[in-house]
């Protein structure tokens, strides 16, 4: 497994497979890898001849009062996980090289970036779209894999790839959950044991909504009330949003159907957690 920190070196390594008709599969991450990332890497391994993982804590997708400085990092452990998943190249650029002085270009996916997490994290998806565009230009993948836990991010990246005619396939992979149903996230590392227990209110709320939907309930007002009630039982959880939206356009819905996305964000202590479920999809 090669570890590459320079952008030109990574670009040079990407050219050979392209010329030889070998496919590059790419998993972009911010590191502190967990089983969710490992599932992307294992799937990437089956879809490409060369598997590239990037680890880059992207400063421009964090707001002023967010957790950029304390975002968890463990390069040694990440490299072990990467190796065990069959990664060929780990690309770890520096922020100084990704955003040198004079850098002033950004990518905005307009409407999809505004609701949900975009409403409470202004500029977040511009930062994501910009870094993912840069990473695609550097790694030149044929296929890139993203987890569905960051559902809006996946929607933004799909739209961007299509709108800008980027020549690659985007694969969304199912959420990987802990035994109690909590979605795996690098940010779970911030939670104290009691906060970690409280975090399971997200999956309990999702299950309640799915149960009602499966029993025939289609009114978003009713589904919302029931979902909110589950979260409100958890004293430690502060709701940022609970919303029912179309799973492709992210437009608000009043009547739920199989393609309705339930998306939630809460804060527990200092930690912001998100989760989601498309009501018509298998859990
Ligand atoms: O999901 C993440 O880890 C990040 O948002 C991504 C896609 C690597 C961009 O920095």
User: What is the rounded distance in angstroms from the CA atom of residue 190 to the CA atom of residue 204?
Assistant: 21
| pLDDT given at position 157 | 98
Residues in contact with ligand 1 (CB, 6 Å cut-off): 28-30, 58, 61, 128, 131-132, 150, 153
pLDDT for the residue numbered 218: 98
Q: What is the pLDDT of residues 29-81, one digit of tens each?
A: 999 999 999 999 999 999 999 999 999 999 999 999 999 999 999 999 999 99
Backbone angles phi, psi at 199, to 5 degrees: -60, -20
What CATH number is attached to the domain comprising 230? 3.30.1300.10
Pick from 26, 27, 29, 36 the residue to mutate for probing ligand 1's pocket: most ligand atoms within 8 Å of its CB.
Answer: 29
On whether the CB atoms of residues 92 and 5 are closer than 8 A, the answer is yes
> How far is Cα 42 from Cα 51, in angstroms, rounded to an integer?
9
Quote the CA–CA distance of 9 and 210 in Å, as a whole number: 48
Rounded distance from Cα 133 to ligand 1 centre (Å): 11
Domain range for residue 233? 186-276
Q: For a pLDDT cut of 90, what percent of the chain falls above it?
A: 98
In a domain, 132, yes or no: yes
At 108-166, the pLDDT tens digits run 999 999 999 999 999 999 999 999 999 999 999 999 999 999 999 999 999 999 999 99
Nearest-angstrom CA–CA distance, 131 and 180: 33
User: Does residue 273 register a pLDDT over 90?
Assistant: yes
Q: Are residues 161 and 205 in the same domain?
A: no
**What percent of the chain lies above the pLDDT cut of 70?**
100
Ligand 1 atom with minimal separation from the 28 CA: 8
Q: Which residues are catalytic?
A: 37
7 and 46 both lie in a single domain: yes
Tell which wins on pLDDT, 167 or 19: 167
Q: 92 with 4: CB under 8 angstroms?
A: yes
The pLDDT confidence band at residue 283, using thresholds 50, 70 and 90, is: confident
Residues 126, 39 within the same domain:
yes
Question: Quick one: 142 and 36 in the same domain?
Answer: yes
Residues 268 and 161 in one domain: no
Ligand 1 pocket mutation, candidates 132, 161, 170, criterion most atoms within 8 A of CB: 132
**How many independent structural domains does the chain possess?**
2
Beta-carbon contacts of 247 under 8 Å, excluding residues fewer than 6 positions away, are 151, 259, 260, 261, 278
For residue 25, give the CATH number of its domain. 3.40.50.620
pLDDT tens-digit readout, 86-117: 999 999 999 999 999 999 999 999 999 999 99
Residue 132 alpha carbon, nearest atom of ligand 1: 9
pLDDT one-digit tens code per residue, 212-252: 999 999 999 999 999 999 999 999 999 999 999 999 999 99
On whether both 194 and 155 belong to a single domain, the answer is no
């Amino acid at each position: 497994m090669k570890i590459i920190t320079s952008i030109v070196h990574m670009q040079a390594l990407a050219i050979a497979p392209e010329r030889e008709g070998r496919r590059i599969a790419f998993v972009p991450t911010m590191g502190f890898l967990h089983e969710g990332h490992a599932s992307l890497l294992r799937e990437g391994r089956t879809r490409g001849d060369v598997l590239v993982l990037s680890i880059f804590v992207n400063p421009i997708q964090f707001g002023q009062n967010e957790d950029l400085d304390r975002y968890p990092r463990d390069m040694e452990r990440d490299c072990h996980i990467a190796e065990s998943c069959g990664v060929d190249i780990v690309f770890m650029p520096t922020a100084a090289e990704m955003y040198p002085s004079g850098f002033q270009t950004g990518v905005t996916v307009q409407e999809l970036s505004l609701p949900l997490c975009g409403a409470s994290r202004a500029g977040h998806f511009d930062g994501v779209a910009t870094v993912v565009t840069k990473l695609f230009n550097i790694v030149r993948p044929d296929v890139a894999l993203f987890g569905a836990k960051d559902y809006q991010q996946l929607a933004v990246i799909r739209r961007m790839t299509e709108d800008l005619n980027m020549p690659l396939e985007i694969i969304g992979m199912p959420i990987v959950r802990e035994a109690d149903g909590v979605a795996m996230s690098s940010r779970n590392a911030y939670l104290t044991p009691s906060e970690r227990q409280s975090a399971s209110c997200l999956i309990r709320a999702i299950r309640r909504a799915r149960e009602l939907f499966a029993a025939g309930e289609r009114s978003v007002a009713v589904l919302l009330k029931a979902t909110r009630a589950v979260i409100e039982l958890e004293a430690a959880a502060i709701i940022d949003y609970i919303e029912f939206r179309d799973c492709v356009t992210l437009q608000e819905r009043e009547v739920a159907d199989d393609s309705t996305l339930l998306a939630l964000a809460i804060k527990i202590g200092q930690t912001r957690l998100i989760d989601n479920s498309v009501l018509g999809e298998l859990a």
